[in-house]
Structure 1
Amino acid sequence: MPEFSHCGAPLKACEATVTIIFPTSTTPADPRENVSPNFMNKISMWIIVIPIVVGVFILLAIVAFVIINQCKKPLPDPKLKAIKVEDRASAASSNETKPAEAAPKLTFVSDDNGDKFDLQDLLNGSAEILGSGCFGSSYRTSLPDGTAMVVKRYKQMNGIGKEDFHEHVRRIGRLRHNNVLTLVAYYYRKDEKLFVCDFVHNCSLAVHLHAHQTLGQPGLDWPTRLKIVKGVAKGLAYLHKELPSLIAPHGHLKSSNVLLNESFEPLLTDYALIPVINAESARELMVAYKSPEYVQHSRVTKKTDVWSLGVLILEIMTGKFPSNFFLKGKGNDEEDIVTWVKSKLGADDRETLLTNLEVFDREMGAIGVGDGKTMKQLLKIGLSCCKDDVQKRIYLKEAVGRIEGLKLRNMSNDGEFFSAIASDCEVDIKW
């Protein structure tokens, strides 16, 4: 088939003569006369539709841009994985008439650090988790100038109103004592509570008593332990003096809540929390609610902190961790530390004492001649603080006075531990 056969039969040859016909009028013909009405209608329709379609696309593009920018969240900085504070305050609606709140701010309770840093400085620093306890987690972070701070994030503080919380925490922030860790600042939101304090480089008493070998550190010697007990007693007495309205001004005294500075001076932390901790969580977790008076009679007294001090003294002197007390309060199948010490010192006679000196932690090392008597006196004070009967338990003032009266002797030359204790067995250890 020829290539153009679909166009019809071949054209005939042109005639030799061409006749030209001139129009009778010189006016050009209107081209619209040769355009069909349907074609004109289509042109008119597209003239109307195209601007509408373009306008819709532009509108959709604008809406999409706004939505994407409102919903887009920055990828989390690895530095902030440990501590996350959502700034809901700054997401105020543009329709609100009241001024939008600024970024979340810390409330400083210590004039020494006021306005030197803000919350964002803490969050921008690389965070290192120090531990996770009953009420939350603690993180070490660094300020832009390199200063190390600790941020404590509490999970169990949702049952107190804003004004009551502010009032109580500001009261805590006014405390100043060499054996009490000072609160620097705090952050409040209904579902987020942060406490900020200075970082203490020498870890907690619990670490030095129970984990020093893992860290390759020596055990605490006897002079250091006596120094720690005296500092704890002074700090506890200060809390009771400055917070008389609280039944248990500390309420959560244990070895992990005693920090040690470079010179092994103790600093009490996590104190005065009972008023701001959810009641149910406090009863379940706080040391005060493991005391004999609460276990037996469901009450906390002014002597509850004394019981905690006594348990801490026994822990320091024996090196045993009183985990059963803190886990269940009533103890479990394992003998509690108070009962264990009493069983080791259950007789008055010299012979029984000599055969039960393993009650003391041997890692205290060499002691001075005469220090054996002092050690047993301190053990006796600890037992007096731990009496189950509150009426027979000594008062904090008496306990502190007796502890402060203990003196160190000269170090022995031979480095013997038990020989020095045995030489002083005449001390009365009745409780």
Structure 2
Amino acid sequence: MAASTSLSHFACFVSFLYFTCVYASSNIDLDALVAFKAASDKGNKLTTWNSTSNPCAWDGVSCLRDRVSRLVLENLDLTGTIGPLTALTQLRVLSLKRNRLSGPIPDLSNFKALKLVFLSYNAFSGNLPASLLSLVRLYRLDLSHNNLTGEIPASVNRLTHLLTLRLEDNRFSGPILELNLPNLQDFNISENRLSGEIPKSLSAFPESSFGQNMGLCGSPLQSCKSIVSKPTEPGSEGAIASPITPPRNLTVSSSPTSLPEVTAETKPENTHHHGTGKIGSLALIAIILGDVVVLALVSLLLYCYFWKNSADKAREGKGSSKLLESEKIVYSSSPYPAQAGTERGRMVFFEGVKKFELEDLLRASAEMLGKGGFGTSYKAILDDGNVVAVKRLKDAQVGGKREFEQHMEVLGRLRHANIVSLRAYYFAREEKLLVYDYMPNGSLFWLLHGNRGPGRTPLDWTTRLKIAAGAARGLAFIHNSCKSLKLAHGNVKSTNVLLDQSGNARVSDYGLSLFTPPSTPRTNGYRAPECGDDRKLTQKSDVYSFGVLLLELLTGKCPSVVENGGPGGGGYGSVLDLPRWVQSVVREEWTAEVFDLELMRYKDIEEEMVGLLQIALACTAASPDQRPKMNHVVKMIDELRGVEVSPFHDGSDSVTESPSVSEGTCGGGGSQ
């Protein structure tokens, strides 16, 4: 009894300490905000800021765990310094732009969690504080349009997460030291007093990032060599006088007509001025003529060489030549020809409409789109202008014609706004072709991972969430289309989520895992842990793979590494276990660290990102029984997006969108 009483007292004591700490922390934040308002809000714009109310409900203030985490006070004519705000130790976002705040930027070393800082269009003065450069978690730093002075210190390199660095329209001076910020995307130091050569690490940024700094040179501005070689050239823009060249008493105009005239009195005796000029002209004409003759001879030799080669190739490969034009492969015979001397197959179209014959497909110009585990895909442009995507199942392991036709019959009947429709197929003993609708906007993989770095247009949050919702609906439809077969996709990954002309997500390559040869390496990063060497793929393993895809959307990291090394045997040594990595970061209570740096530019999306992260973690549960069905995943994502869900909605689109699918067809009805 005594022990129980002691434990009760101890629990009460711990609770008391906790609430005392929380209350004390809240008071610190409250006092800091009240002090800032008293000193800076002369126009009483912050009307909701009342010392008797909860600061988390004030305009411009957001809280996390009862501590102020976001302070956004823009264009409010605030004055004075920001010193009182340094007590907000849990601040993550600070935006005070377009006010009249002044004085030096105070010591910000207490802001250990600070990620976004926007202080532009104020009147801050003094040097760039060292405390600001110790905030290693910063993603965005905008101090533009102020009165800051001094040099830009090399310690900026500590901010390795930095995506934005804007210092334009200040009074910074001196050289730009070598900056090594691998994630930097938005950079501007124009309208300062900087000088010297622009480091190569920054030369990829546009000229506007460096303009109106009279002493700067180097790419993308004027070459430093041209300035140094002509340091006193009159009339040249940005000319810099050389410190080792003595001043001249004679000023020479840049106009050639005003050069000092050489008269008979000043010209030395026995000069050969006219003769020298004549010889120089003749030599110049001879050089030009020689160059023209040499160029003509080289051109003639090259023409003969290439004409001979092309003639040889034409003789060797009449009727089956392949020409490479602007990275587009145009075939006079197809990249997927029917083999000579073998059984000829036929094109089978769904929905009862024949749109072209195999010969039309063979004559079409074809551009390779990519290679996957099931074969190679091509973009084919038919003679009538129609464009289709053709997948050649070169390495597919097909048991027999009847089995293949029955399975294609099931896949060909599926119609939904979020799947890529199978329009036709061709079967012969040596050749199997699948014809799909062509998706012009590429894959989610390319949108997420292609061309990262300066100049890239990031995939914004709204689009990512829309793609996630569309892909979820497409996958849920596949799962529910044939109840008796329990059809699974079998290869869910970002390269198999395509975008149509309207930007809607379309799931592709569904139902083909049945034909994967056992020796074919599968994409390790998306594979569910229960799918071993027997390659048993289920709807639950699809859910796991979809969860990895959601993590890919959230983190910007690519889990796609192939067993036995990289594509083509490149030998990539490591595999990113994305679910395990995310779980380890979340356990350390650094959830914000998992999100893609490109998403940090968008405001007020943290709640949605955390919500989608929770859905992804549920989908990637180690036990298949703990994973939600795709119907439920669709419903959760729709609720996250604020899409109204009908009380009768089960999370999947009605199978009536594909009226030709029936249980008879699922059971393997005959082909056309």
TM-score range, shorter chain: 0.5 to 0.7
**Is 1:391 aligned with 2:630?**
no
* 2:581 is the alignment partner of 1:345: no
Q: Which has the larger radius of gyration?
A: 1
After TM superposition, list the pairs within 5 Å mapping 1:181-196 onto structure 2: 181-196=420-435
- 2:512 is aligned with 1:273: yes
Over 3 Å counting, the alpha-carbon distance change for 1:321 and 1:152 in structure 2 is same
Which of 384, 391, 400 aligns to 2:634? It is: 400
Match for 2:597 among 345, 352, 362?
362
Q: Does 2:566 correspond to 1:327?
A: no
**Quick one: which amino acid aligns to residue 290 of structure 1?**
R
- Alignment CA distance shift 1:289-1:221 (3 Å): closer
Counterpart of 2:347? 106
Amino acid at match of 1:327: E
Q: Secondary structure of 2:625's partner?
A: coil
Task: Structure 2 unaligned segments of length 5 or more: list them.
Answer: 1-315, 323-330, 566-571, 644-672
Residues 363-378 of structure 1: matches in 2 within 5 Å?
Answer: 363-364=598-599, 366-369=601-604, 371-378=605-612
Matched, 1:312 2:553: no
Aligned residue in 1 for 2:357: 118
Match of residue 203 from structure 1: 442
Deviation at 1:342, TM superposition (A): 1.1
**2:387 aligned with 1:148:** yes
Name the amino acid aligned to 2:556: G
Task: Measure how far apart 1:302 and its partner are.
Answer: 3.1
Contact 2:361 2:382 in 1 (8 A): yes
For residue 539 of structure 2, the aligned residue among 282, 285, 302 is 302
- Please give the alpha-carbon distance, in whole angstroms, between the structure 2 residues aligned to 1:169 and 1:289: 25
Q: Per the alignment, in what secondary structure is the counterpart of residue 470 of structure 2?
A: helix
Equivalent position of 1:264 in the other structure:
503
Contact 2:374-2:512 at 8 Å conserved across structures: no
Aligned partner of residue 252 in structure 1, secondary structure: coil
Query: Matched residue of 1:303: which SS?
Result: helix
What corresponds to 1:220 in structure 2? Answer: 459
Distance 1:297 1:168 in 2: 21
* Partner Cα distance (1:215, 1:166) in 2: 49
CA distance in 2, matches of 1:318, 1:138: 28
Q: Would you say the 8 A contact 1:239–1:249 is kept in 2?
A: yes
Q: In structure 2, what residue type is equivalent to 1:85? A: P
Deviation at 1:243, TM superposition (A): 2.9
Q: Supply the distance in 1 between the matched residues of 2:607 and 2:486 (Cα, whole angstroms).
A: 34
Structure 1 residues 216 and 125: alpha-carbon distance in aligned structure 2, compared to 1, 3 A threshold: farther
SS in 1 for 2:434: strand
Contact 1:289 1:295 in 2 (8 A): no
TM-fit CA distance, 1:73: 8.8
Greater relative CO (CA pairs within 8 A, separation 6+)? 1
Matched residue of 2:506: which SS? strand
C-alpha change, 1:176 and 1:233, in structure 2 (3 Å) is same
| Contact 2:334–2:363 (Cα < 8 Å) also in 1 | no
Match for residue 424 of structure 1? Answer: none
CA change 1:332–1:213 in 2 (3 A) is: closer
Structure 2: how far apart are the matches of 1:276 and 1:201?
A: 27
Amino acid at match of 2:355: K
CA contact (8 A) 1:109 1:185 kept: yes
1:76 and 2:310 are equivalent in the alignment: no
**TM-score, reference length from structure 2:** 0.43
1:233 and 2:468 are equivalent in the alignment: no
How much does 1:164 deviate?
Answer: 1.2
Distance 1:289 1:346, change over 3 A: closer
Q: How many residues align?
A: 314
For the Cα contact (< 8 Å) 2:540–2:629, is it kept in 1?
yes
- Helix, strand or coil at the partner of 2:623: coil
Residues 288, 300 of structure 1: 8 Å contact kept: no
Higher mean Cα deviation, 305-314 or 258-267?
Answer: 258-267
Indicate the percent of aligned positions where both proteins have the same amino acid: 37
* Distance (whole Å) between structure 1 residues aligned to residue 538 and residue 397 of structure 2: 25
TM-score (norm 1): 0.66
Residue 321 of structure 1, CA deviation: 0.4
In the other structure, the counterpart of 1:290 is: 527
User: Displacement, 1:286?
Assistant: 6.3
Q: Distance in 2 between matches of 1:388 and 1:218?
A: 35
Tell whether the 8 Å contact from 1:105 to 1:119 is kept in structure 2 after alignment.
Answer: yes
Q: C-alpha distance in 1, partners of 2:401/2:552?
A: 38
Shift of 1:117: 1.4
8 Å contact kept, 2:526–2:559 = no
C-alpha deviation, 1:201, in angstroms: 0.7
Are the counterparts in 2 of residues 138 and 152 from structure 1 also a CA contact under 8 Å?
yes
Could you tell me whether the CA contact under 8 Å between 1:293 and 1:300 is conserved in 2? no
Q: Which amino acid aligns with 2:349?
A: F
Structure 1 gap ranges (5+): 1-71, 93-100, 410-431
| Cα distance in 2, alignment partners of residues 134 and 249 from structure 1 | 16
CA contact (8 A) 1:253 1:309 kept: yes
Does the 8 Å CA contact 2:555/2:595 hold for their aligned counterparts?
Answer: yes
2:626 match: secondary structure:
coil
Secondary structure (helix, strand or coil) at the match of 2:640 reads: coil
- 1:156-188, Cα deviation, whole Å (9 max, x unpaired): 324321011111101111100000000111100
* Match 2:577 to one of 318, 322, 336: 336
CA distance in 2, matches of 1:234, 1:77: 44
Alignment partners' CA distance in 2, 1:272 and 1:287: 19
Q: What is the CA–CA distance in structure 1 between the aligned matches of 2:621 and 2:573, rounded to whole Å?
A: 18
2-side partners of 1:406 and 1:264: how far apart? 20
Which of residues 615, 619, 623 is equivalent to 1:381? 615
Q: Which one has a larger percent helix, Structure 1 or Structure 2? A: 1
Counterpart residue type for residue 500 of structure 2? N
Q: Partners in 1 of 2:624 and 2:641 — Cα distance? A: 28
Aligned AA for 1:178?
A: A
SS in 2 for 1:322: coil
For 1:271, give the aligned amino acid.
Answer: Y
Letter matched to residue 582 of structure 2: V
1:127·1:141 contact (CA, 8 Å) conserved in 2? yes
* Deviation (angstroms), 1:213: 3.7
User: How far has the Cα of 1:336 moved from its partner?
Assistant: 1.2
**What is the rounded CA distance, in whole Å, between the counterparts of 1:378 and 1:328 in structure 2?**
32
Q: Quote the RMSD (CA, aligned, Å).
A: 3.1
**TM-aligned CA distance change 1:334 to 1:186, over 3 Å:** closer
Aligned to 1:418: none
Q: Deviations over 1:3-51 (max 9, x none)?
A: xxxxxxxxxxxxxxxxxxxxxxxxxxxxxxxxxxxxxxxxxxxxxxxxx
Distance of 2:573 and 2:487 partners within structure 1? 25
Q: Which residue in the other structure is 1:62 paired with?
A: none
Mapped to 1, the partners of 2:496 and 2:436 lie a distance apart of: 14
Secondary structure of 1:209 counterpart: helix
Q: Structure 1 310/332 Cα, relative in aligned 2: closer, same or farther at 3 Å?
A: farther
1:386 CA displacement: 0.5
The C-alpha deviation readout for 1:58-108, integer Å capped at 9, x for no partner, is xxxxxxxxxxxxxx99541421466131254xx69xxxxxxxx9x753111
Instruction: Give 3-state SS (helix, strand or coil) of 1:327's partner.
Output: coil
- Which secondary structure does the structure 1 equivalent of 2:641 belong to? coil
